[in-house]
Amino acid sequence: MLLRMMTYNIFEGGVGRLDPIAEVIRQANAHIVVLPETWDDQAFAALAQRLNMEFFQAHAPENPRGHVGLLTRLPLREAVNHAAYDPRLKRAVLHAVVDAHGRDVAVVGLHVKAGACPDAEAQRMAELPMILNLAARFRGLPHAICGDFNSSHPEQIIDVSAVCPRTRREVREHDGQFPRTFVGGFLAAGYADAHALHRTPSEFQTTFTTQHPALRYDYILVSPELTRAVVACESLQLPLGKYASDHYPVVAVLDTDLMG
């Protein structure tokens, strides 16, 4: 059976944009969705109700806009907000375990510090060991790390002239280099970029911004137990997406019969 996993930064709580956000998620037909920036409690609850999905919201004690949400149409066995007890995490990081057609599958959802400068990447790298340690508890269990990484794949081809003006200025102030080490750290730890599994770098899609789509900040990274189960992984660039958020979502299709 197929499992559809999605990550979607809904931008500043999704306030005033619940209709297009809900429609993008409906069209993705996702079973489980990680949603960075769900900092508006009422809006997130309303979104879950519209979609008739179970939800969990991980708050960030040190950052009122650092929340990460989870929506699921599958039975939710477990959900934990790790930022609630680990002050080293500056934004929420959650994990959840769902029953995917009789198989337990775990998801780690995150949204790390934004910024294309070296200082921002350094903060992301400081949190990398904690996130990997968190995910290590699922070793041997099919799991994925999903969310907004605010960092580029080491092999992503980036047209500097096409990125949004703010990011272009920031990168030019730092020798024209885009941060790539954070994503590279997960790849070095044995996770696979689901989007890159069946593509060459020239075929990589983008997710950010919807108005200037030149970067890919949103990832579904899969454990070895999930790698061969990846059937497809796309940046879902629906026309409606431009009005829903500043990010396009990423959707991975997994064959549960092929999970290790």
More confident residue, 168 or 129: 129
- How many CB atoms sit inside 10 A of residue 239's CB? 6
Q: Who contacts 207 (Cβ-Cβ below 8 Å, separation ≥6)?
A: 213, 215, 216, 217, 218, 235, 247, 248, 249, 250
Dihedral of alpha carbons 208, 213, 216, 219, sign:
positive
Query: What are 89-113's pLDDT values in tens digits?
Result: 999 999 999 999 899 999 999 999 9
Query: What are 183-193's pLDDT values in tens digits?
Result: 999 999 999 99
Q: What is the mean pLDDT of residues 138-166?
A: 96
CB 206 within 8 Å of CB 245: no
pLDDT band at 72 (very low <50, low <70, confident <90, very high): very high
- What is the spatial distance between Cα 167 and Cα 243, in angstroms, rounded to a whole number? 20
Q: Which helix (H) or strand (E) holds 32?
A: strand 32-36
pLDDT score of 101: 87
Q: Which helix (H) or strand (E) holds 130?
A: helix 118-136
Span of 20-29, 114-123, 172-181, 198-207 with lowest mean pLDDT: 172-181
Query: What are 239-258's pLDDT values in tens digits?
Result: 999 999 999 999 999 999 99
pLDDT score of 174: 80
State the residue range of the domain holding 34: 2-258
Regarding beta strands 250-255 and 2-7, do their DSSP bridges make them parallel or antiparallel, or are they unpaired?
A: antiparallel
Kindly tell me if the per-residue pLDDT of 176 is higher than 90. no
Residue 205's domain is classified under what CATH number? Answer: 3.60.10.10
The number of distinct structural domains making up the chain is: 1
pLDDT score of 260: 84
pLDDT score of 175: 80
Kindly tell me if the per-residue pLDDT of 117 is higher than 90. yes
At position 165, the amino acid (one-letter code) is P
- How many CB atoms sit inside 10 A of residue 10's CB? 29
pLDDT score of 96: 98
pLDDT band at 200 (very low <50, low <70, confident <90, very high): very high
C-alpha distances in Å from residue 53, one per residue of 193, 215, 247, 248:
26, 30, 22, 21
The DSSP secondary structure of 71-113, one letter per residue, reads EESS-EEEEEEGGGT-TT-SS-EEEEEEEETTEEEEEEEEE--
pLDDT band at 68 (very low <50, low <70, confident <90, very high): very high
